[in-house]
Every structure is written in structure tokens, then in C-alpha cells.
Amino acid sequence: MAIGLVGTPYRYGGNTPAGGFDCSGLIAYVYKHRGGVLAPRSVAALVGWGQAVQADAIRTGDLAIFTEGGRATHAGIYVGEGRFVHAPSTGGEVRLDQLQSKYWSKQQVSFRRP
């Protein structure tokens, strides 16, 4: 389902395909509509949600949470094959990226499973 939302516009505070998404709004929407799970609506709250998962054990649907200086700054949904779907403000739309891309591989990331 997350991959199907690629191209949806970014909007701070957004939580619907029609209105756009920010990163936590995208996660909340997908989890609610795909599995009936209510996810926290902020990146800071996602850090402690669910269970921690080691990088070598991640699977589709797990969260990738990026931190800087010990503070959560961004999150996305892992969709397999080293890829994740997220709603970055840079670029202006939901997109599919590789965790091992030049930019994302330099970021501190942890994984959570609801």
C-alpha cells in the first residue's frame, strides 16, 4: 500500500492522499488502512513505539526512524529490498528511496516493528 502512495504531495501535518502527507502522517495512514493499527502521529513518539528490530532482521512494514543528535528527525516504512517509502519535505512528494543511497546511508537509522 505504501508504494502506491508514491507521488502524493508533501504537506506538513498532512495525513490523507487527497491532502498530502508528512512522514508520520503517511505512516499513520498506511498502518490504519492496511492493518487497523493506530500509529503515533509524531516522529518523536514513533521512536518508542513497538519493538526494536536489528537491521539484519527488518521486514516489510517495519519503520525506519532516522535520528540526529539523539533526536528523531524523520521516519519511513520499509518495503523490502533495501527500500523505504517516506514523505520528505525536500522533494515535495512521497517517494521510494534506498537505505543504502548516498544520502540515507550516512544517516543514523533504527528500526521498529509495531
CATH number at residue 38: 3.90.1720.10
Catalytic residue among 2, 5, 23, 58: 23
Clarify whether 86 is annotated catalytic: yes
Catalytic residue among 39, 40, 74, 78: 74
Q: What is the mean pLDDT of the chain?
A: 95
Clarify whether 74 is annotated catalytic: yes
Residues spanned by the domain of 35: 3-113
Percent of the chain with pLDDT over 90: 93
Clarify whether 23 is annotated catalytic: yes
Tell me if 75 sits within 8 A of 86, measured CB to CB.
yes
Catalytic residue among 83, 86, 95, 112: 86
User: What are 61-84's pLDDT values in tens digits?
Assistant: 999 999 998 899 999 999 999 999
HSE (CB half, 13 Å, CA atoms) of 43?
22
Percent of the chain with pLDDT over 70: 100
Number of domains present in the structure of the chain: 1
Amino acid identity, residue 100? Answer: Q
Quick one: DSSP state of residue 70?
T
